[in-house]
Amino acid sequence: MPRTSKKAQFLRNNPNTLREIMNLLEEFTKRGTKEGKKLIYLAGGWPQDPPPSLLKEAMLEVISNEEKFSRAVQYGPTRGLTETLTAIVDYEKGIYGRDINESEILISNGSTEIALTVLEAILDEGDEVILTKPHYLNFSRQSYFVGNLNVKIKYWNLLRDDYTYGPNIEQLKELVNDKTKAIILASPGNPDGQIISDRLFNEISEIAKEKGVFLITDLAYRGFCYTEKPSYFSNAVEPHEIFICTFSKELRIPGLRLAYVIASKEMIRNFELVEQLKTLCPNGFIQKVFAEMISKEDNIKSLKEFIERGNETYQGIALMSYRYLRDKIPEFYLNEPKGAFYLFFNHSSVNPNSREFCTHLLEKVRVALAPGIDFGMDGWTRLSISPGVLNPELIKEGIERIREFIDSNQRS
């Protein structure tokens, strides 16, 4: 058999753990409960509550209108349909108060795709990228992949030695040099659930601007802020800044793959040329549905109310889960989540190997979590609250099983 590329081998040796766990979930679903306890899946971070009813109404309108349906299923421009770009401008203004224009937007089939496109447009072999520690697991894999495995990644610690959240801007300054091409952030953070303050973001942005470095910020969870929303959600975008946005979480449609990037007109053109090679154009149906939904009077107001209600619900579940885990398993250390869907806890006193810890949990008590080593931090693990939003008892049962697992190991 002919040999595959080094990049293919890299991906085989470094698969996306969350996607691999999804495969495992499918296997457990097929088996049912024949092999003992039902699996409690708290590894993945997709929303479980339904999308707004306005979405289904818009879908039915697009399907039933011959002209709109025809537009939805034809090739469209690589940057996105004109009416969808206009709708996103209105959405950004109405929901987050950000003033942008259509030339500063490119639509894509999900934020994973657009993140890869952004990196392909800015990274060369030999460049350096600064990631936070912890960081979303795909950022490192994508950086290596687009740089032909010849990209150096440096890590900026968001946690102090005592595990509390406390990024040190001086440490970041020391990491930046003339080979640094990009700093990548996520706020609210995945997996840590922390929010970068306005003051810290402005300091990071100033460093990037001064050093000629791109600042890429993933806003996938901006609809889930349990503190005051930072102003960089709504400020005008600087030429060196790139914001990646997705409807997967805030509109509860991860399977429909609709996302976009906000950047300078010049950078959007670069991203467009890369996308021409990859996907030709984003999915026309969901674009048309979104544009139809936004075109209706008062729908932006309704969507804002939907996002705000959802934020309150997720905040309540997040705080309940945080307190329950903290009280039931004091051996773990975790910071209170300020946003997103996650509890990120240190279990080094029980087992410093996160993959082994998660594997044993799955085998012994049928609880699936995401090992922290894939987010850059061994000895830590991520628990997602989103599978329990409609059934909080599921999270409690999962935590009870983890407690059971620890107790049984201590007795043996």
C-alpha 192/C-alpha 334 separation (Å) is: 9
C-alpha 257/C-alpha 11 separation (Å) is: 22
Which CATH number belongs to the domain containing residue 138 in this structure? 3.40.640.10
In a domain, 162, yes or no: yes
In a domain, 75, yes or no: yes
C-alpha 212/C-alpha 19 separation (Å) is: 35
pLDDT in tens, 322-349: 999 999 999 999 999 999 999 999 999 9
Among the three residues 299, 330, 345, which one is the final residue of a domain in this structure?
299
Which residue's structure tokens are 């942008």? 100
**Cβ–Cβ contacts within 10 Å for residue 210, how many?**
11
Among the three residues 299, 320, 353, which one is the final residue of a domain in this structure?
299
Query: Are residues 26 and 104 located together in one domain of the fold?
Result: no
pLDDT in tens, 342-383: 999 999 999 999 999 999 999 999 999 999 999 999 999 999
User: Which residue type sits at 412?
Assistant: S
Q: Is 324 exposed, middle or buried (0-12, 13-18, 19+ CB in 10 A)?
A: middle
Query: Are residues 241 and 360 located together in one domain of the fold?
Result: no
Query: Are residues 261 and 124 located together in one domain of the fold?
Result: yes
Domain assignment of residue 148, given as a range: 53-299
Query: Are residues 361 and 220 located together in one domain of the fold?
Result: no
Query: Are residues 139 and 275 located together in one domain of the fold?
Result: yes
Give 20's pLDDT tier (boundaries 50, 70, 90).
Answer: low
User: What pLDDT is recorded for position 19?
Assistant: 64
- Strand, helix or coil for residue 319: helix
User: What pLDDT is recorded for position 18?
Assistant: 67
Q: Name 225's Cβ contacts closer than 8 Å, sequence gap at least 6.
A: 188, 195, 311, 338, 339
Query: Are residues 231 and 317 located together in one domain of the fold?
Result: no
Give 22's pLDDT tier (boundaries 50, 70, 90).
Answer: low
From 350, 353, 323, 339, select the one nearest 408 (Cα to Cα): 350
In a domain, 259, yes or no: yes
Query: Are residues 201 and 266 located together in one domain of the fold?
Result: yes
- Strand, helix or coil for residue 108: strand
Give 243's pLDDT tier (boundaries 50, 70, 90).
Answer: very high
User: Which residue type sits at 352?
Assistant: P
C-alpha 10/C-alpha 273 separation (Å) is: 26
What Å distances lie between residue 279 and 268, 272, 397, CA to CA? 15, 10, 42
Q: What average pLDDT does this structure show over 212-222?
A: 98
**More confidently predicted of 148 and 80:** 80
Query: Are residues 89 and 171 located together in one domain of the fold?
Result: yes
C-alpha 97/C-alpha 192 separation (Å) is: 26
User: What pLDDT is recorded for position 194?
Assistant: 98
Q: What average pLDDT does this structure show over 264-279?
A: 97
Percentage above 90 pLDDT, the chain: 87
In a domain, 214, yes or no: yes
DSSP label of 188: S
In a domain, 1, yes or no: no
Give 3's pLDDT tier (boundaries 50, 70, 90).
Answer: confident
In a domain, 399, yes or no: yes
What Å distances lie between residue 301 and 98, 220, 223, 291, 320, CA to CA? 15, 21, 15, 15, 29
Among the three residues 235, 269, 299, which one is the final residue of a domain in this structure?
299
User: What pTM was estimated for this model as a whole?
Assistant: 0.94
User: Are 355 and 369 a contacting pair, CB within 8 Å?
Assistant: no
Query: Are residues 38 and 68 located together in one domain of the fold?
Result: no
Residue 151 is encoded by which pair of tokens?
């990209």
In a domain, 401, yes or no: yes
Instruction: End-to-end CA distance of the chain: give it in Å, rounded.
Output: 48
Query: Are residues 173 and 251 located together in one domain of the fold?
Result: yes
Which CATH number belongs to the domain containing residue 402 in this structure? 3.90.1150.10
Query: Are residues 270 and 143 located together in one domain of the fold?
Result: yes
Query: Are residues 41 and 167 located together in one domain of the fold?
Result: no
Q: What average pLDDT does this structure show over 6-33?
A: 69
- For the chain, the average pLDDT equals 94
**Structural domains in the chain (count):** 2
Q: Name 264's Cβ contacts closer than 8 Å, sequence gap at least 6.
A: 104, 237, 239
